[in-house]
Structure 1
Amino acid sequence: MPLEQARRLWRTLGFPERGDEKAYSEEDVIGLTAIADVMRDGLVDFDRALNVVRGAGLSMARLADWEMGALIQPIEDQYADNGAPPSTPTEATAWALERYGDRFEVVLLYAWRRHLAAAVARLESMRAIAADPHTTDLTVGFADIVSFTALSNELTREKIGDLVEVFEARCGDVIAVNGGRLVKSMGDAVLFVNEDALRAFATAEGIIKVVGRDKRMPDVRLGLATGSVVLRLGDVYGPPVNLAARLTQVARRNRIIVDHDTAGRLPADQFETRPLPARPMRGFGVMEPLTVRRI
């Protein structure tokens, strides 16, 4: 592999360059060799390889930060309980990786294979109904915590972290139960998609139940919008994504606001809709959102 390509892949994985300094290990060689082999076989060209490793780098960086945030304290405690002298986080983590690293790798590979199979199934489903497998109709949901900035000024950093962790976990559980997909979380908000409006509404109801109705948790707001979206690199793009976020901004506490397309796809004998006053929404002009409730 040309040196410039190797450096570009290295940067795309999210690692800092070290110039001409001797700073790489045999593991680094093995990793880049694996990418080079796939390119040599013709499965991907260099540009597509960059896309793949960018996703891997971003995902693994977030996962590593998440794991350290959740595990560093028990790792250090167990390291000390085993009779080790006072240590740095690096020493304790190295000890934990030597003892448990292979099991974490099993979980990581298992989760990746299961999610890969699910992604293939979604692709097959979309190809059956659309010429472009990267574009499909979905209901997009956006849920955010009410007055999160004010809460952040009142709570300690530890309590803010706990709040965000519980919010994400509860939302993720509800989304999975209703057959949706958590696209991304942004601290005080989550973005999810469902293949139909009915399941998306059930997801929104569930989030209100487990977060907004819990007196120990803050209130939430939900926006749903339906339409054609583009799927790229694990994310979703398109007007419904932006509209769902805009609708959330005008929703009342623990209420669900939807666009007309979403409302039209809900069974009329099960739901009652009520128009709200028309208002300007950035990027969409003046719109009339709807509130929806089960009959």
Structure 2
Amino acid sequence: MSDADDRPAADGTDDGTDGTDDGTDDGGVVAALEEHLLGETPWLTQVQVAERAGVPLEVANELWHLLGFAHVPDDEAAFTTADVRALQLTSDLIRLGILSQERQDGLVRTWGRSFARLADWQVALLASVAADVGADPTEGLLAISDEALPRVQELQSYVWRRHLLSASSRLLAEQTSGPTATLAVCFVDIVGYTSRSRTLSDRDLVTWLESFESTVLGLTVDRGGRIIKNIGDELLIVASSPEAMADIALELTRRGADPDDPFPAVRAGLAYGEVVTRLGDVFGPVVNIAARLTSVARPSSVLVDIGAYEALTGRADDDADEHTGAYRFRRLRRVSVKGYSRLKVWALQPA
């Protein structure tokens, strides 16, 4: 018997409805979106999906939860043949040795978090477009998604492949250091975010944050850095060159200090040294120190650790101020922060 032979009737007669749902109620809209986005109305239970994919049920449940989805009762028809295919692909990757248990957990969690955030933003965007043209939010969302999603999917695939190329190039350049790399790490934090956010509507707040991230992204990419992630009102940026990172941090704080520039006031903490790289993220003491320096930096200031100081000046720490061709360093009192006592710190300024 084929999969299609097992499917419930699609005319709505077997659930007590009259089959005339016009899609205006919430249930009708969700059902229509399910068919639009999943390719068909869900008709398989988790047990059936696992059986068809040839994957143990506990593995199917684990992957579902790692992706960030809610628990589904074993007897609820919440899945489609696309879920079967996804499990088969995962099983193939495990069989090929691409996904070990450790890699599987980390990669799937990363996918879940990343796509959940992306989906929230895209749905809000589509709903906003529908409202702008005066369409009914539910009907407009369906119409726009039908037109836009194939194009969005194709564009996402293109962006993903381009980033794969960039990541591969970085990996090849750093292969001699294994899972570690020597990087300049910087956290950039918006000053007064909490008080500012209380004065803005949800929509205005999103617009403000998106404008901030867009500006930082442009400055960062132009100078050879890359944004790793955002953590609330804070951005984590890395660059191979400490000079490039110093220029990024100084330009961001300069713009934030300009009363005529709408860019918000920021503060930054910069550290340089060896970090652990995994799934596009960075870890280790250098990252922690950069975060701690940001937390104690004054508005519109950039604090650097001893690693960044030595890399930017070309000389070992001598507990003194320093003037170079491009930068000026002011020695500060040693600071004690969570996990690190008496850190050597300098305030970085343009020469």
TM-score w.r.t. the length of structure 2 is 0.76
Deviation, structure 1 residue 210: 4.2
Rounded to whole Å, the distance in 2 between the matches of 1:46 and 1:7 is: 14
Percent identical across equivalent pairs?
35
Q: Say whether the 8 Å CA contact 1:13–1:57 is kept in structure 2.
A: yes
Q: Does 1:13 align with 2:61?
A: no
Q: Say whether the 8 Å CA contact 1:170–1:210 is kept in structure 2.
A: no
Distance 1:10 1:265, change over 3 A: same
Distance 1:45 1:79, change over 3 A: farther
Q: Say whether the 8 Å CA contact 1:137–1:195 is kept in structure 2.
A: yes
Distance 1:258 1:46, change over 3 A: closer
Q: Which amino acid aligns with 1:15?
A: F
What are the equivalent positions in structure 2 for 1:266-285 lying under 5 Å apart? 266-267=312-313, 268-285=324-341
Question: What is residue 187 of structure 2 aligned with on the other side?
Answer: 142
Rounded to whole Å, the distance in 1 between the matches of 2:254 and 2:127 is: 32
Deviation, structure 1 residue 39: 2.1
Distance 1:55 1:220, change over 3 A: same
Q: Say whether the 8 Å CA contact 1:145–1:218 is kept in structure 2.
A: yes
Q: Say whether the 8 Å CA contact 1:143–1:191 is kept in structure 2.
A: yes
What are the equivalent positions in structure 2 for 1:27-66 lying under 5 Å apart? 27-66=82-121
Q: Does 1:262 align with 2:308?
A: yes
Question: What is residue 141 of structure 2 aligned with on the other side?
Answer: 93
Distance 1:102 1:157, change over 3 A: closer
| Structure number with larger C-alpha Rg | 2
Deviation, structure 1 residue 125: 1.0
Number of aligned residue pairs: give it: 285
What are the equivalent positions in structure 2 for 1:205-220 lying under 5 Å apart? 205-213=250-258, 214-220=260-266
Rounded to whole Å, the distance in 2 between the matches of 1:203 and 1:135 is: 23
Larger RCO: 1 or 2 (CA < 8 Å, sep 6+)? 1
TM-score w.r.t. the length of structure 1 is 0.89
What are the equivalent positions in structure 2 for 1:1-295 lying under 5 Å apart? 1-20=55-74, 21-78=76-133, 80=135, 86-88=136-138, 91-128=139-176, 130=177, 133-213=178-258, 214-267=260-313, 268-295=324-351
Distance 1:46 1:258, change over 3 A: closer
Aligned to 1:266, the other structure's residue is in SS state helix
Rounded to whole Å, the distance in 1 between the matches of 2:238 and 2:166 is: 14
> What's the Cα RMSD here?
1.9
Misfit runs of 4+, over 6 Å: none
Q: Say whether the 8 Å CA contact 2:127–2:137 is kept in structure 1.
A: no
